[in-house]
Structure 1
């Protein structure tokens, strides 16, 4: 698969994820499956390390991993979480979640720009790795927050 096809798939995945995150959805264990697959594909596809620019490449990789996890956590605290009368736990993104996604995309674009400025080629494997890691972190924090539901069955959005 060439770069353009993979980039289009990543854009479609982001759109799909955004759509789903703004809908009320049950919190389940399956939330880890797609992000884990994205991480695996991103690593297998390669392009997350540039042998020509090893120091910059490692620095950008570390910054990408740290920012993916941190921004996933930020998005998770912007989500509304509640429990219905049957005890089923739900979550739904808020306008703050959408803003946090814009921030996440901006950080990723910034990291790509820094790499480009340093002479590195941009590969889509890094995009899939970033997206998968950020979703894994977000889903883990959402699950953790859902475990802390109070007696009223809701967890307030942290702004």
Structure 2
């Protein structure tokens, strides 16, 4: 059974990433824990999504090595994009000595590239799995790792100011 929900996955990715990018482009303070809440929520959803994805594959046949390797690769790519995006986020001290952050056009471009890469890898994972929606269901985990990596690195830069 092939993944026939590629269009739905694309719409979901656009909506979720659109919300994330919109938040990234606003000037906002760097908070000690605030920047970790969204990645944690996405991480919980991502764990559930991967569990669902695995269940959707093993319903038809055993999970093989190739889709698992591709999934791990996808999550490593998410972290790599997070590192790259963190370098594009502006961090500075505001008028009351608060530390502020704001994404740039490059941040947005890297988000869009990241989502495009995830969609391609998700389709490859689902094709390699031969059934189910493991790649598609890994979207939240991908976003959690990418956003979490980015936010941790931005917080480190903010602490250095």
SS at structure 2 position matched to 1:87? coil
The answer to whether the 8 Å contact 2:67/2:126 transfers is no
5+ long unaligned stretches in structure 1: 150-159
Residue of structure 1 equivalent to 2:87: 77
Change (3 A) 1:65 1:48: farther
1:131, 1:58 → 2: CA distance? Answer: 18
1:67 corresponds to 2:77: yes
1:23, 1:10 → 2: CA distance? Answer: 20
SS at structure 1 position matched to 2:138? helix
2:43, 2:123 → 1: CA distance? Answer: 21
Name which structure has the greater RCO, CA cutoff 8 Å, separation 6+: 2
TM-score (norm 2): 0.80
SS at structure 2 position matched to 1:132? helix
Residue of structure 2 equivalent to 1:146: 158
5+ long unaligned stretches in structure 2: none
The worse-fitting range, judged by mean Cα deviation, of 82-91 and 44-53 is: 44-53
Residue of structure 2 equivalent to 1:35: 39
Q: 1:90 aligns with which of 100, 105, 110?
A: 100
Residue of structure 1 equivalent to 2:132: 121
TM-score (norm 1): 0.81
How many residues are aligned here?
146
1:130 corresponds to 2:134: no
Name the one with the larger helix percent: 2
Runs ≥4 residues deviating over 6 A? none
Aligned-pair CA distance for 1:144:
0.8
